[in-house]
Chain A
């Protein structure tokens, strides 16, 4: 039965398989999190539809529901006006829905051609590599992809693996392509090739859903964009409205047609909060970065000069994955810069080991509290004991217990000394992390200091942090909460697609200017 359906879809000529995709009132909960809250989305045949939103906005959940990876709690999937029963990826394939995952879902030790053949309904029981190769080469030529069919997939770049997946899905008769963050980790040339291929496929009548958090990509490629925030659709824009539509469409006449600003506004909300952090004036610098060049396999960033004074807070804004983490890791001495120097309290620590940074009073609190910050399975008391100066091989239990009690009292942690850290709530975990921070501290580097925390904990955490500033600690923190950035920073730097803006006083920022910067205009 299934096989027969697959055959039919295969015989349909590629250019006639135009499909209008509709998702209606999709709901999906993971425990307490409402990942998709009444989400509806319509993708017209022959268009490229962007799906934008910050990490955790629910984009991936939505497209995984469409491609059968996640089962929805309620809601309907309608293809060309007919309800589709999609419960598994196999179902989705039968309806011609193919998905390119953020981390390519392929078989790295196999060769490209083996990947191309694996799981394809057209593959005969006895492999016919030559025929598959002909088909493969023809498709590659069509899109100017230069793929060696006999290369091992593990030797290919992410971009090439993407090309392989596209070619494979098309060979299997996909009429709808979903791409989840496809431009992460691919080169500029590969991006051009990818975009050309997608445009061409759209012209052939295929529907394409392009999930991204990169404004510039969505702007360059998509016909339509839907923005999601916290599990809901917060807006939709038609980017390719014809002249007439644009004149009396969504935008007031006369206002500059600036998609980026409008999208950022939808992503983050309109009004920015007021700064609340008291200015602390200390002239001594805590951290100086000089001609820093940061390089990872995905990004290359350059910072000319940045001096952070004691007591100052620098907020790092930007869409997630724009290099903030690499920057913080470098400042913490956990990654080495490709060039340039790092000074902490006037001492050159460039290329020194992490221990030298720790000694100089640098502390890094990662975003993933349980995985990188605390040790699951150990209690608060054991964390305290780990940090205490060790003498001999035995733990001084009494001292550790006393110290843990003290930390619990001063930091208002809801837990007992013997509570395992993973049993604490997010807020109490963060309090524990703060309690474990050494003192005195010169530079504190944080990622999402209040992510997942309730308002009370958030306020409390920032009280503690500002108290640290008063003692002369400089804080650099990355956050996707723009309000938090504007409220608590003295100056803000914005990361956008491998570029880093000069620092700007938080008081001088507006929602508009910040949106422009996050969109890459500075």
Chain B
């Protein structure tokens, strides 16, 4: 019974991390192409508002997602134009957009605060898969369509990154755009495309909050999630699997903090709200140190390689730098 309860708590925590998964995958794709979309915080918030309003107005939850994705891509287009075409500082552009879009969401979304709206259809279990030991009850019982779409997105992104020509090119343009250009790729067009795709996914993440996991709209409804998504992408070493893992870990840490808060009442609540963030930073520090590489060098070549692939956390070499074609 005890373990059953734990499973449900964990399963809920994992499911609730779904919006973050969408955001992290989106940002991972964008950054792998060499562009930092620092507007995540604003994009998610504005898209949460837009998604909610669109779904409410059209009375169709899926239209809400479409609208959110479009707005997310539109914000990404601004980032892309400034970063790729105008070659301006991606940090400055993203930061300003993050502030602008969150304020815009508060202003435009004001009439829609705390009113009921459409939500994603209820949870369902996936037949067969739900019967797998451990994994079944953990992953395939408590989710709704978005949770399962999240799993599919992680898998598809990983497959695209490491098993297709397009993914190889994507990794290439973020590492050494000049070399990709030398091989005949249109670096500018590809960077635009991946920035827009990443932005659309972040938009969906916003709508996933307002139409599902934190249904409704309120002032600064999704505050903090954009920033943590950016941190998780780094923690995830720009690898979709690890980024997703980071997002789920954050979800679990958050719900554990909630549980701990009720069991240890004499510790200030702030400790538990902040704890997940601190733990994430610790994890980041641990996985990016040189000591791991030194440790790895003692292992046999084959083991070392596959491990290094997982642990390796170097950012795309051309991340944040505009491509200058001479």
Contact = CB atoms under 8 A, between A and B. Distances in A.
A335 to B, nearest CB: 24
Contacts of A125: 164-166
B285 interface: no
A105 B163 contact: no
B182 A118 contact: no
B77 interface: no
B53 to A, nearest CB: 39
Given A107-B172, A110-B171, A123-B165, A118 B180 contact: yes
Nearest to A154: B314
Given A109-B314, A110-B175, A119 B166 contact: no
Contacts of B260: none
B169 interface: yes
Contacts of A90: 183-185
B165 A93 contact: no
Interface of A is mostly: loop
B315 to A, nearest CB: 10
Interface residues of A, number: 27
Nearest to A117: B168
A269 interface: no
Interface in B100-152: none
B87 interface: no
A25 B163 CA distance: 46
A105 B185 contact: no
B290 interface: no
A130 to B, nearest CB: 13
Nearest to B168: A118
A106 B326 contact: no
B66 interface: no
A228 to B, nearest CB: 20
Given A107-B172, A117-B168, A123-B165, A70 B182 contact: no
A125 B308 CA distance: 26
Given A105-B178, A107-B179, A89 B184 contact: yes
A108 B174 CA distance: 11
B171 A119 contact: no
Contacts of A106: 176, 179
B163 A127 contact: yes
B158 interface: no
Contacts of A114: 168, 171
B216 to A, nearest CB: 42
A93 B184 CA distance: 8
A119 B172 contact: yes
A108 B317 contact: yes
B104 to A, nearest CB: 37
Given A69-B326, A107-B175, A110-B175, A119 B164 contact: no
Contacts of B308: 152
Interface string A195-208: 00000000000000
B182 A89 contact: yes
B321 to A, nearest CB: 15
B164 A118 contact: no
Contacts of B213: none
Contacts of A101: 182
Contacts of A387: none
Given A107-B179, A108-B317, A119 B326 contact: no
Interface string A115-126: 001111001111
A-B pairs, top 9 by smallest CB distance, nearest first, are: A119-B183, A90-B184, A105-B179, A89-B182, A107-B175, A118-B172, A123-B165, A107-B176, A105-B182
6 contacts: A106-B176, A106-B179, A107-B171, A118-B172, A119-B169, A150-B305
Given A109-B314, A123-B165, A125-B164, 16 more contacts: A89-B182, A89-B183, A90-B183, A105-B179, A106-B179, A107-B179, A117-B168, A118-B183, A119-B183, A120-B183, A124-B165, A125-B166, A126-B165, A127-B164, A127-B168, A150-B305
